[in-house]
Amino acid sequence: MASFVERFTDLAIHRSPLCLGLDPSEELLRLWGLENDAEGLRRFCGSVLEAADDLVAVIKPQTGFFERFGPEGLNELAVATAQIRSQGSLCLIDAKRGDVAGTMKGYASAMLGAGSGFGGDAVTVSAYLGFGALLPVFDRAIALGAGVFVVVHSSNPEGRLLQDARHPDGRTVAEALADDITTFNANQGAGIGVLGAVVGATIDPAATAIIDRLPQSLILAPGVGAQGAEMAEVGPKFRSAQGRVLPSVSRAILRHGPSPVALRDAIERYREAAWSAWDAGSSLAASRGHARTAVVRR
Ligand SMILES: O=c1ccn([C@@H]2O[C@H](COP(=O)(O)O)[C@@H](O)[C@H]2O)c(=O)[nH]1
């Protein structure tokens, strides 16, 4: 089976590298005139996914917004993940799980691959209990051709104090994590590996050397839009990861609903911008242009 990296790269060229966040928050449900309940959740997700259709490579449901309704919400998460995959997009479950290794085995079975509880193509994890504790998720991802994104440098300002703290060897926590990711990927072979990283698009331009430490990783870059980063910043900031970045946008797109036309227009705008950020000035632009001539645009 094709790996997550292979499937993403193909979809990024033919659709767009944009990662559309599926965040059915209370605020957005109310803005859309929906009830803040599981039925509202279902209608919201159905409309977003209908508008996204075959436009983007990756859709990222945020588990917290589903879990808040207990079992009914989790049922809606399963409905959404199945629909994402049926539309040919990759489903990246933003769960940011991080626990001891035995428990991570449970999360891996819940989230990753066909036959798992939620059937994600990839999942986000947090390494606060140690990078090594995440191994069961990495192993399952390798076995099933799935992906894992480890939070390295999050988009929110609260993350800085913890992630910029220094180890005795002088590296920050984020740098050491990036090195762990790269060592793991390199041990699996050359090329882009199973372990991706989360590096917020809000990153200070002076701090982007962290990206150079991740030469074999896809990079999920949340923070575009509502958190203040512009899509136009992504290309320059992530230059050393050209062709490997998934710019992620949730609220800045979702707030355009419930009008299907306005929602689709917003997705279209961000997907075009994501392409420019992804391959500006590179040879990828040529392959994309070639591929897109064959794509029927609606
Ligand atoms: O560092 C991170 C990692 C993940 N997120 C998630 O992204 C969305 C918020 O996106 P907006 O485009 O700002 O609406 C939410 O699901 C977060 O959990 C992040 O913001 N930062």
Q: Is 154 in the pocket of ligand 1 (CB under 6 A)?
A: yes
Q: Is the pLDDT of residue 148 over 70?
A: yes
- Whole-number Å distance between alpha carbons of 83 and 143: 23
Q: Is 61 in the pocket of ligand 1 (CB under 6 A)?
A: no
Containing structural domain, residue 17? 4-289
- Whole-number Å distance between alpha carbons of 75 and 69: 10
Q: Which atom of ligand 1 is nearest to the CA of 227?
A: 13
Q: Which residue's entry shows tokens 């945020």?
A: 62
298 found inside a domain? no
| Ligand 1 geometric centre to CA of 223 (Å) | 6
Q: Is the pLDDT of residue 290 over 50?
A: no
Q: Quick one: average pLDDT of 90-109?
A: 98
- 60 annotated active-site: no
Would you state the structure tokens that stand for residue 254, as one six-digit string?
């979702």
The pLDDT of residue 296 is 35
Q: Which residue's entry shows tokens 């005139």?
A: 33
The predicted-structure confidence for 214-246, as pLDDT tens digits, reads as follows: 999 999 999 999 999 999 999 999 999 999 999
Q: Is the pLDDT of residue 59 over 50?
A: yes
218 found inside a domain? yes
DSSP result, 34-61? --SSHHHHHHHHHHHHHHHTTS-SEEEE
- Whole-number Å distance between alpha carbons of 14 and 9: 9
- N- to C-terminal Cα distance for the chain? 30
Q: Is 155 in the pocket of ligand 1 (CB under 6 A)?
A: yes
Contact at 8 Å (CB) between 253 and 24?
no
Q: In total, how many domains does the chain have?
A: 1
249 found inside a domain? yes
Q: Quick one: average pLDDT of 167-187?
A: 98
183 found inside a domain? yes
| Ligand 1 geometric centre to CA of 220 (Å) | 10
The pLDDT of residue 298 is 31
| Ligand 1 geometric centre to CA of 27 (Å) | 15
127: DSSP letter: -
Q: Is 200 in the pocket of ligand 1 (CB under 6 A)?
A: yes
Q: Is 105 in the pocket of ligand 1 (CB under 6 A)?
A: no
Q: What is the domain-level CATH number for residue 47?
A: 3.20.20.70
**Candidates 60, 96, 105, 237; catalytic one:** 96
Beta bridge partner(s), residue 199: 153
Q: Is the pLDDT of residue 288 over 70?
A: no
Contact at 8 Å (CB) between 118 and 83?
no
The pick from 45, 248, 249, 253 for probing ligand 1's pocket by mutation, whose C-beta has the most ligand atoms within 8 angstroms, reads 248
Q: Nearest residue CA, atom 1 of ligand 1?
A: 154
Q: Which residue's entry shows tokens 């989360």?
A: 198
| Ligand 1 geometric centre to CA of 62 (Å) | 8
**Least trusted range by pLDDT, from 4-13, 208-217, 223-232, 271-280:** 271-280
295 found inside a domain? no
- Whole-number Å distance between alpha carbons of 16 and 1: 22
The pLDDT of residue 40 is 98
Q: Nearest residue CA, atom 10 of ligand 1?
A: 250
The pLDDT of residue 280 is 58
**What residue type is 81 in one-letter code?**
T
Residue 281's alpha-carbon distances to 18, 103, 217, 243, 251, in angstroms, are: 18, 44, 20, 11, 29
Q: Is the pLDDT of residue 295 over 70?
A: no
Q: Which atom of ligand 1 is nearest to the CA of 220?
A: 3
Predicted ipTM? 0.99
